[in-house]
Chains A and B, each alone.
Chain A
């Protein structure tokens, strides 16, 4: 009937005055999925979420929850619940009263309410906090109460708007883990808004990357990271070297480009590109490799090999980040994992050292701009 689709957005537009906060967005979110919306500030994540919750209505386009057209259905008649960024706990109610609120509104019998509230508090690991008031709790604890208050209603879809935004790094990591655990335990669809790319990558089944009201790419974390479909996505998720150039030869998924500084590089592309078109080549710093000039490494036989000179070296513990300069004057970022013994004299690159930069064709992504 609904083909395992929890939420379907079909060509949704939301405009405030003459700005389109959400601009022709279409996506399908599957049942039981941990789905993230990721994008810079102001790109329309919250607005999209608020339309699903029913706090805003689309200017045009259709929104379905479990196959049912939502139209102007008010929030209190939708099978979704929201965890607000500010938590929005009721300050005049105890934790237990907060959690019980949704059940009371649905006129669930009293004994059942008590039992379900207790279970929800156990789920978020706050079984003994029922009698406290929100202001007597830490940010992380309030966050859990907000989660329990939403989950106790057994929603089909849980909407979370940057729920971890106000927490410090350590607590954040902890709550990421908790959220994931709870989602897997209950099998509920989570739609999670964040502008933290690492958070999105570690938690999500799929991610929608948004910018300026539009969805640029939807895919699994690996797809988004390894196969970004445009420069914005490659730039927003992780870091990348971008090399502009013109296509000289094209052969299905492989193409040869001539860069603006006269280098010839071979790259991989998802969509065939036509000869003569201008493209940008994206190379992740950890996918570029450096080898010594007189070493006997197999990397030298890769398609993309360029002589380079080490310019700057920064040691950051697990990695070493190196900036090399090619003969043409272009600089490239290279990250190397520090896998070698620290007692090895040659373990680290020295500024001024000559080197060979190389990368495999599959890791040099050709993106049409």
Chain B
């Protein structure tokens, strides 16, 4: 005979209530680390920057607790800042568009390659990440220099020497190079899911290659285009390494100004830097909202 130990009978109601409470505890346990991380490492610094942006810079790089709008006023009046805004956004747009033009056909090519090749090609897209970005940008300096690789080829072909370093073109080349994988990967994900028989169907119904692309493939791969563009645009606008190394001090982007205001300036000007950073965030957010509106209007 087996002796059974029966738990004290609990009412159905109480049991389910207990279970729900335990469920809630579990969810909280899962969410808590992320919540904690976001609060302390993202929201809190943002609050600090927000407060700083309304304070007066002190003589030794400190802050004086006097409320002022001066920092914001300078952003809109001094051409140094206005130009950096315009240049950053312009370079961001150019980089995004060029990455899209290079990346889309590349992603199509990878998605249509035989499965074994697909893995190899994707791997090749990722290989640059194995080397430090700074090192890779230095490598571009060697390629673009006055007596670098490109000029060696150009002059040995009998053409005049090109001066590439410290120009906006050099910065653009560096930016496109660095950001291309971030465009290719989301594009690949979205094109890989695209059913190419739809292109045949469109062609069968009388659409030329171009019209089949604009009417069928483009809208259906739009999520990849949108994701890739945002992933490229945002870091590009905030770049300072590429513009510093390949642009000299001649092609200042917002990132360069920020870096200078917070660390290199003598004395540093944290309140002005904070205002610059906040305005920057605001402009980016507005641009991205508009972008998403325009690219996803057809998708429900």
Interface residues in chain A, defined as those with a beta carbon under 8 Å from any beta carbon in chain B: 53-55, 74-76, 80-82, 84, 86, 88-92, 101-102, 105-106, 149-150, 153
Contacts and interface: CB of A to CB of B under 8 A. Distances in A.
B203 A90 contact: no
Contact of A92 (B197, B207, B298): B298
Contact of B206 (A76, A84, A88, A89): A76
A134 B298 CA distance: 15
B197 A74 contact: no
Interface of B: 195, 197-198, 200-208, 211, 215-216, 219-220, 298-299
Contacts of B204: 53, 55, 75-76, 80-82, 150
A89 to B, nearest CB: 8
B56 to A, nearest CB: 55
Contacts, number: 59
Contacts of B195: 86, 88
Nearest to B212: A76
A76 B200 contact: no
B197 A86 contact: yes
A102 B205 contact: yes
A88 B207 contact: no
Contacts of A80: 204
Most buried by A among B195, B201, B202, B211: B201
A92 B201 CA distance: 14
Given A90-B216, A92-B219, A106 B198 contact: no
Given A92-B219, A92-B220, A92-B298, A105 B206 contact: yes
A188 to B, nearest CB: 15
A361 to B, nearest CB: 50
A92 B197 CA distance: 15
A162 to B, nearest CB: 13
Contact of B197 (A54, A75, A81, A84): A84
Given A88-B201, A106-B206, 16 more contacts: A53-B204, A55-B203, A75-B200, A76-B203, A84-B200, A84-B201, A88-B198, A89-B201, A90-B220, A91-B220, A92-B220, A101-B205, A101-B207, A102-B205, A105-B206, A105-B211
A102 B200 contact: no
15 contacts: A53-B204, A76-B206, A76-B207, A82-B200, A82-B204, A84-B200, A84-B201, A88-B198, A90-B201, A90-B202, A92-B220, A101-B207, A105-B205, A105-B211, A149-B205
